[in-house]
Amino acid sequence: MVPRVKQVIEQARARVLGGDTHVVGKLVSIFEPGTEVIRKGKASKPTEFGKMVKVQEAENQIITGFEVYEKRPYDAALSIPAIESHQEQLGRVPRLVAADAAFYSAGNERTAHEMGVQRVCVPNRNSKSAERKREQKKRWFRNGQKWRTGCEGRISVVKRRHGLNRCRDKGDRGMRRWVGLSVIADNLINIGRVLTRRENPAPAVADHC
């Protein structure tokens, strides 16, 4: 603990007295030294402290994969590993892949199609191609992005319902354990809902002539 306290003091001196805001190896938590400073890239978003977690979802709001990263990676580097994880878990690649624009790269899109993904619904915000812009306005692309927005809601639900907004376990292993148990708990709820719908389908309603 003492070396960590010393490191915090040295950082404070460098930042406050020396004006150095780019301290290498910044320590933001004495008790959890692996904690990272996470910025979402938008001025309106507050600075967060913790670990970056990737969550990927399939039909019926079932989470098929998650990862807690030691160091925050580039989003675009996660696309193909996510498809590979889906294939490993379910025995086939998804028909459609949807993600936000940060996950886009031409190489990712090409590789995904080569792997057998029929439709890649990841916006290219930097494209000036009229053809690309038309493609992104098609119904299947818009529907894919709507579904992706729903997946963003899944993260909020897991945070609220299962305490993913704050890890109460200790260390990096504790963080992975906390996230994993949250994912399992949420999946049990959603799998139960799917099975209930299958066993008790909604009655059909006939229109009057």
Same domain, 9 and 56: no
pLDDT number for residue 147: 87
Same domain, 70 and 11: no
Same domain, 75 and 130: yes
Same domain, 62 and 143: yes
Domain count, the chain: 2
Same domain, 23 and 59: no
Query: Which structural domain range is residue 119 located in?
Result: 52-164
pLDDT number for residue 209: 44
Number of H helices, E strands in the chain: 6, 6
Looking up tokens 């999946």 gives 187
152-204 pLDDT, tens digit each:
777 888 888 888 888 888 888 998 999 999 999 999 999 999 999 888 876 65
Please give the structure tokens belonging to residue 209.
């002539």
Query: What are the E-state strand segments in 58-178?
Result: 63-68, 96-98, 119-121
| Residue 173 domain flag | no
Same domain, 13 and 69: no
156-170 pLDDT, tens digit each:
888 888 888 888 888
Same domain, 114 and 146: yes
In three-state form (DSSP H/G/I as H, E/B as E, the rest C), the secondary structure along 169-205 is: CCHHHHHHHHHHHHHHHHHHHHHHHHHHHHHCCCCCC
pLDDT number for residue 20: 62
Same domain, 14 and 95: no
Residue numbers in the chain where pLDDT is lower than 70? 1-9, 11-12, 14-31, 33, 41-43, 202-209
| Residue 114 domain flag | yes
